[in-house]
Copies of this chain bind each other. A is one copy, B any other.
């Protein structure tokens, strides 16, 4: 059992619904996110993270209004100095969202209700997305006077299978539902029901992953991140450099032995943060 209490926060609740699976339920995302995910990233007893929402109708309530606003940054400065102040906030937000992508463990995002703006940035930085049939989505930034700048425009089009739809949704800002999210490949699955059901489905999927070899799982996430941003040949080269060490793990033998003995293999934790 992992001591998950260390990951509780003012705006979210941590639990371990299955062995080595950390469930983080937020009622307001954001400023704590970078710190929590960074700390979880170094905890090898946690092998998969599920991110969900505690709110009834929204996946996230938007930015914490008690935080200083990006838009108000450097109001009294010349436009160049104000730009640098704004950029400081932006890159901080970008870095926070990117912790989900860069953290050691895979992250499954269980979505229900409305997912607008920030919720798309955040879920696009997760590895897998599931949603309930009542989910609604929107890349709303264009409707409030700005271009999405903390990841949606970078990650969303590389996730979904239609360049035409990706641009249509980002340029119109229109709402789309669970079925359309599935059709374009944004979510892996639409789960009948709502918050409770999608969380259960995500935990079940997390449990499958948590039972696989930790060396294999963290390497697979790490190498898929690399592959997305490089040519096939560069990806192969990096993989060879990576796996020349990883193939020396005990997990392959542990897996084979368990298979022969018709048991579930037991793997050691990896003991490090990627």
Contact = CB atoms under 8 A, between A and B. Distances in A.
Interface of A: 70-71, 74, 77-88, 90-91, 94, 98, 101, 106, 127-129, 141-151, 153-155, 157-168, 170-174, 184-188, 205, 208-209, 212-213, 215-221, 223-224, 227-233, 235-256, 265, 267-268, 270-274
A146 B79 contact: no
A54 to B, nearest CB: 23
Q: In the assembly, how many copies of this chain are there?
A: 6
Contacts of A98: 233, 236
A255 B144 contact: yes
Nearest to A74: B271
B166 A81 contact: no
A185 B208 contact: no
B153 A272 contact: no
Contact of A129 (B84, B142, B164, B238): B164
Contacts of A254: 145
Given A162-B188, A208-B172, A255 B127 contact: no
Given A161-B161, A171-B220, A185-B162, A80 B249 contact: yes
A186 B171 contact: no
Nearest to A102: B233
Contacts of A187: 164
Nearest to A226: B237
B141 A216 contact: yes
B221 A171 contact: yes
B213 A153 contact: no
Contacts of A129: 164
